[in-house]
Structure 1
Amino acid sequence: MTKKIIIAGAGGIGRACGLILLQHLGKDVSLSLADINEDQCNQAESWIQEAYNQSVTLKKIVLPPNPATNWNPEGELLLDCTPGAFAADMASIALRQNMHYANLTENVPATKKIYQLVQNATTGFALQTGLAPGYINQLGRLMASQYSEEHPGHTIDSIKMRVGALSQYASSPGFYAFVWNPVGVSTEYLNQSEVIEQYRKVTKPSLSSREQIILKGIRYEADLTSGGAADLPEFYKNKVRQLNYKTLRYPGHFDYIDQMKRELGNDLSVDALLKKMRADIPMHDQDRVLIYCAVNGKDKTGSSYEIIRHGEIYPAQYGSVQVTAIQRATAASLAQTALLLLTNRYSGVLTQSRYPLQEFLNGDIIRKHYGSVI
């Protein structure tokens, strides 16, 4: 039976998710692209046609003003690739229309709104399903499970999740280039971060706990940013001493952000920081995604043991189109989640701690874009 999927937000991630679903489901999916901008829909359709390398029929939907009250889509699944500020509105539409729903946002306030909204839903609402939050949380859960199996009798001391969506090249003053939504970057730098410290779930300011990390001989910096830990601080509280998510950057970038924040002073806001960054930082399409996860524990004598997984994702060519690393990584996780929801096994909120771990990480789409970790 053909599944009807609507992707709201026809930008880079939305169109990449459409391509991946078409590659996997073929004629078993009826795909619609919805956006407030008709040109964006048209561009996304052309992009998918070129990347898919064969003719495909896509329905295009221009979203009306105030879609939360004025849009009544029909289908099995609504995939939300809109900015995080619209996530609660999109979830309310899916709830009203009795559709499954999945989003990508690291926006913690929007996520908490959706929790309350869909508590009694009969369809599934998968939240924070991209790369980070998303895939990295499943990897953290897998490694914690593997550590306990490989080291019986040990206690898990820490779970560290690190992800960097980076340009392949960077220069001063920002030591960074935008390879994904600049609004998301400034938002994650200013919103609060949920972590576990001394077995308790606590909230800490973003960019307040910097560290150095060396991956294959190359030095990076990592610091707290909002949203990337998903609901794992709640899931693992009282079970591990420390758990956190940090964003990886090239050395010098966080110092640059600190300087921008000092200059803005009382005028600091997401929009003001974004304006400052855009003045100095270019957009790049030559990117790379770094993934690093470490689980550390101790035996009964107090000796420390650690297991680590590290991976990198690069752009890939599909037809005449290059799909960037961040498009691949984010859209693949969302598409694999879509397959979970289409089984109709889930209702209410599906958070990262509730995902079927083996099924997700061993899924065809995840293995194709991330490689096998099981």
Structure 2
Amino acid sequence: MRRVAIIGAGRIGASIAKLLHNSGDYTICIADQSRHVLDSANLAKTISKSELTVTDVDALLLYIKDCEAVISACGYDVNPLIAEAAAKAGISYFDLTEDIATTQRIKQIAGQAVPGQIFVPQCGLAPGFIGILGFHMAQQFDQLDHLKLRVGALPEFPTNNLMYNLTWSTQGLINEYCNPCHAIRAGQYVELTPLEGLETFSLDGVSYEAFNTSGGLGTLYETLQGNVSDLTYKTIRYKGHQYLMNFLINDLKLGEQRELLKQIFEKALAVTRQDVVLILVTATGIIDGKFMQITDSRKVYHGDVEGEHWGAIQKTTASSLCTLLDLYFEKKLPERGYIKQEQVCFDDFMANRFSQCYKTEQQHRS
């Protein structure tokens, strides 16, 4: 049995705990600063639950010291504290952050790694699985021209003018809409403005739009620089969403008052567990002397998991991290230091027991 600590017992942290525990191969201890959150997580009695203040560095280190790995399911702002504790304890570290500055800090901390100890940030959907899939597709080309990564977590039944409901972290959503976006244009690294680059497309008879957002590309722009002409990441939404978000964030300048924007979203937009995740990757370039295009599209729907109803973003995020943790213990990841998502073998990822939601749902390849 592998002993793993999870810090953060919210929806995603609890989901990770349930998947790992029910596999029969992990002993789980989970901590949160809130006893109410721990009690409402509906976790098995055999999972150890503790109250913990992450900013209490000594208590955090004591909590994780007998584990083989620690998972941060907390807000990105405390991830460096958890990674530093992991470094001191000599155990491996995994998180779900999309925040660029936090990821760079984790990379610095990973410089302290000892043999067998790895630091793997960005283990969710985007960044996360989308980088693994995108890099896998890029490797199929002799010369890569364009690589377009598009991901969206959408309500299955939108009812408001924004055509949107909250499905995950509000703060993470705001960061996506407000922070600079990495990209490669004409072979050169560039920063793009969020909410720009609007495009429209149809998938299975439904019309969507996509636009620049921050963080989802992960480190892929670093890895592919010099090997691709154009690389972009955009978030998928129903048509009309970008216009209203641009009005709120830029015209009304609520992007300069993020805490107020967070309050507005959480007051006006209901949370839904009836969501669908869309994944669309398109690559063009030269294969065997011919100019070719390959497209991979996937849909993951909400549904029953572990005897509960889970949202699609809940399923994809939790299962992606659990897959990477499994691959680490199976010695299918690099064995020391900072690990990028694109260093994960796509075939190993898809063959793992935890990744089934990515391949049993609707999928098209052309």
- CA contact 2:179–2:214 (8 Å) conserved in 1: yes
C-alpha change, 1:369 and 1:165, in structure 2 (3 Å) is same
Q: Which amino acid aligns with 2:17?
A: G
Match in the other structure for 2:8 = 9
Give the C-alpha shift of residue 269 in structure 1: 3.3
Q: Which amino acid aligns with 1:68?
A: V
Give the C-alpha shift of residue 172 in structure 1: 3.2
Normalised to the residue count of structure 1, the TM-score between the two structures is 0.89
C-alpha change, 1:119 and 1:319, in structure 2 (3 Å) is closer
| Comparing 267-276 and 175-184, the one that deviates more | 267-276
Match in the other structure for 2:60 = 71
Give the C-alpha shift of residue 171 in structure 1: 2.8
Match in the other structure for 1:315 = 302
The equivalent position to 1:264 in structure 2, one of 234, 252, 256, is 252
> Identity of paired residues, percent?
28
Q: Establish whether residue 33 from structure 1 lines up as the match of residue 30 from structure 2.
A: yes
Give the C-alpha shift of residue 67 in structure 1: 3.1
- CA contact 2:54–2:78 (8 Å) conserved in 1: no
For residues 92 and 184 of structure 1, the distance between their equivalents in structure 2, rounded to whole angstroms, comes to 22
Q: What are the residue-to-residue correspondences of 1:64-213 with 2, within 5 Å?
A: 64=53, 66-72=55-61, 73-74=64-65, 75-122=67-114, 123-146=117-140, 148=141, 155-213=143-201
C-alpha change, 1:88 and 1:57, in structure 2 (3 Å) is same
The equivalent position to 2:318 in structure 1, one of 315, 331, 334, is 331
1:245-286 deviations in Å (ceiling 9; x for gaps) = 111011111111111124532872332322333343221121
Secondary structure of the corresponding residue to residue 299 of structure 2:
strand
Q: Which amino acid aligns with 1:38?
A: R
* Structure 2, gaps ≥5 residues long: none
- CA contact 1:76–1:342 (8 Å) conserved in 2: no
For residues 217 and 365 of structure 1, the distance between their equivalents in structure 2, rounded to whole angstroms, comes to 30
For residues 215 and 306 of structure 2, the distance between their equivalents in structure 1, rounded to whole angstroms, comes to 34
Q: Which amino acid aligns with 2:236?
A: L
Query: What's the C-alpha RMSD, in Å, of the aligned pairs?
Result: 2.1
Give the C-alpha shift of residue 89 in structure 1: 1.2
| Comparing 226-235 and 168-177, the one that deviates more | 168-177
1:287-312 deviations in Å (ceiling 9; x for gaps) = 111111110125799x7531111111
For residues 7 and 36 of structure 2, the distance between their equivalents in structure 1, rounded to whole angstroms, comes to 14
Q: What are the residue-to-residue correspondences of 1:276-291 with 2, within 5 Å?
A: 276-291=264-279
- CA contact 1:174–1:281 (8 Å) conserved in 2: no
Aligned residues: 355
Secondary structure of the corresponding residue to residue 71 of structure 1:
helix
1:109-129 deviations in Å (ceiling 9; x for gaps) = 111111112213121001101
For residues 22 and 85 of structure 2, the distance between their equivalents in structure 1, rounded to whole angstroms, comes to 27
Match in the other structure for 1:351 = 340
| Comparing 33-42 and 318-327, the one that deviates more | 318-327
For residues 159 and 371 of structure 1, the distance between their equivalents in structure 2, rounded to whole angstroms, comes to 21
C-alpha change, 1:189 and 1:69, in structure 2 (3 Å) is farther
| Comparing 168-177 and 134-143, the one that deviates more | 168-177
For residues 131 and 186 of structure 1, the distance between their equivalents in structure 2, rounded to whole angstroms, comes to 17
- CA contact 2:255–2:261 (8 Å) conserved in 1: no
For residues 131 and 36 of structure 2, the distance between their equivalents in structure 1, rounded to whole angstroms, comes to 35
